[in-house]
A = this chain, B = another copy of it.
Amino acid sequence: MSKILVFGHQNPDTDAIGAAIAFANLQKELGKDAEAVALGEPNEETAFALNHFGLTAPRVVETVANEVEQVMLVDHNEFQQSAADIEKVEILAVVDHHRIANFQTANPLYYRAEPVGCTSTIILKLYKENNVEVPKNIAGMMLSAIVSDTLLFKSPTCTQEDVKAAKELAEIAGVDLEGYGLEMLKAGTNLGTKSASDLIDLDAKSFPMGGSNLRIAQVNTVDLAEVFARQAELESAMQEANTANGYDLFVLVVTNILDSDSEILIVGEPKENVEKAFNVTLDNNRALLKGVVSRKKQVVPQLTAAFEG
């Protein structure tokens, strides 16, 4: 039996790494020679979770065809978010909660996507369908992934299934859901040690919109003022990124995980489309977006409508 690598997307977050560990373990229980790997180092939030549950970070790889012929993907499907040589291997399975795009296979495969808040919620179902028990430490990691993806259930991407799964996993892991969850989210908000250019690249994605090239980054914090104390430094890093990469407009979304609000910082043009998108007036390149926490549901569609409408 040949080995199978299991991994999440580039720039891995807690779900990308947690779901890979959980799904690889399930495959091993089902008799497959599966290993969880990652397309990058864990971020501070993920490192906190791994450490809390006594798990080792998965080995980091950039390419996969040099060591295996078959892989399984979690928490992503689009090839540009995957291993650099993904088209050289056979994809046996995908478990995901995103749209499907830029993805294709030569053979029939196992594909399980559901419109829920977190891949780990789906993976818990797969354990049950296969009558496999979730080990205590892996339950903790899956719980961490749900807390991370849903911002402790405050994101509009969160479904009742995510809440139910998290409660069940907290029970198995033996942790207090609210207490542990907030502690883990806070561990990911330690931005002080990062340079401005690292900070705006931590969780950043590019989006072409109506002829403009947008870069939209998001960081979590428990103190908006602490982040905006570095506004000049951040603006300068964003300006540099725009020039170096041809972005027309850089949107930094700074999310307060305690209040579930976000403040945005804008560098580039046309700024009036941002004002139109969120029905706000920028002041000193900033605006508070009340109740906004999800880039996927509350930022990208609104900007798309303003730029393409």
Interface residues of A (CB under 8 A from B): 97-115, 129
Query: In the docked arrangement, what's the CA distance between A248 and B99, Å?
Result: 38
User: Are B104 and A98 in contact, with the CB atoms below 8 A?
Assistant: no
**Contact between A99 and B105, CB atoms less than 8 A apart:** yes
Q: How far is the CA of A133 from the CA of B174 in the complex (A)?
A: 37
Chain B residues near A102 (CB-CB < 8 A): 104
This chain: copies in complex: 2
CB distance from A41 to the nearest CB of B (A): 27
Cβ-defined partner of A113 (8 Å) among B104, B108, B114, B129: B108
- The reply to whether A115 and B110 contact each other, CB–CB distance below 8 Å, is yes
CB pairs A–B below 8 angstroms (30 shown): A97-B108, A98-B108, A99-B104, A99-B106, A99-B107, A99-B108, A99-B109, A100-B100, A100-B103, A100-B105, A100-B109, A100-B111, A101-B104, A101-B105, A102-B104, A103-B103, A103-B104, A107-B115, A108-B113, A108-B114, A108-B115, A109-B113, A109-B115, A110-B113, A110-B115, A111-B111, A111-B112, A111-B113, A112-B112, A129-B129
Q: Which residues of B contact A113 (CB under 8 A)?
A: 108-112
B residues less than 8 Å from A110 (CB atoms) = 113-115
- Least Cβ distance of A35 to chain B in Å? 22
Contacts of A111 in B (CB 8 A): 100, 111-113
Smallest CB separation, A34 vs chain B (Å): 17
* A129 → B minimal CB distance (Å): 7
